[in-house]
Amino acid sequence: MSEKIDLSNYVPSEDEEFMNGNQRAYFRAKLVAWKNDILREARETLDHLAEESANHPDLADRASSETDRAIELRARDRQRKLISKIDAALQRIEDGTYGYCEETGEPIGLKRLDARPIATLSIEAQERHERREKVYRDE
């Protein structure tokens, strides 16, 4: 798995065999870069929160600071969940199931994977899933 893909030059194409070595390497690199960006942002947030932990004498300043802190922590929690989805996608690349719909087994499609590399459902399966969710939500 030592394939190196230059993300700036390689674009997966429908003309290639689906999920060939180049495509797997491309999506692996894309997912790893995304995960590294999230981890870097998380470290920056933690550093910022540590600096910002000063006790504000003004009640309004303290409330504003606490609100900002709560928003940051919620965002980090969402990103933690996203990292687990990225890790799951990387595992699917390793086991050969990446790029195939979990529901139908059909290829998800390169454009969808490029836009949302953690996708596990084809567009059609995702739309069916969302329609079912909407029906249950409206009841």
pTM of the model: 0.78
pLDDT of 55 reads: 64
- Maximum Cα interatomic distance, the chain, rounded to a whole number of Å: 64
Residues of the chain with pLDDT under 50: 1-2
Read off the tokens for 93: 């690349």
Closest CA to 107 of 12, 28, 38, 35: 12
Query: What pLDDT score does 92 carry?
Result: 97
Measured in degrees and rounded to the nearest 5, phi and psi for residue 137 equal -70, -35
The pLDDT assigned to 116 comes to 96
Q: Please, are residues 31 and 43 in contact by the beta-carbon 8 Å criterion?
A: no
Pick the closest to residue 5 from 35, 20, 113, 14 (CA basis).
Answer: 20
Q: Please tell me the predicted confidence (pLDDT) of residue 133.
A: 85
What DSSP letter does each residue of 51-97 carry, written as one string? HTTPPPSSHHHHHHHHHHHHHHHHHHHHHHHHHHHHHHHHHHHHHT-
Round to whole Å and give the CA distance between 8 and 84: 26
User: From CA 107, how far away is CA 120, in angstroms rounded?
Assistant: 10
Q: How far apart are CA 95 and CA 90, in angstroms?
A: 9
Q: Return the pLDDT at 70.
A: 84
What's the CA gap between 124 and 105, in Å, rounded? 12
Q: Identify the structural domains of the chain with CATH numbers, from first to last.
A: 18-98 (1.20.120.910), 99-138 (no CATH)
Beta-bridged to residue 107, according to DSSP, are 100
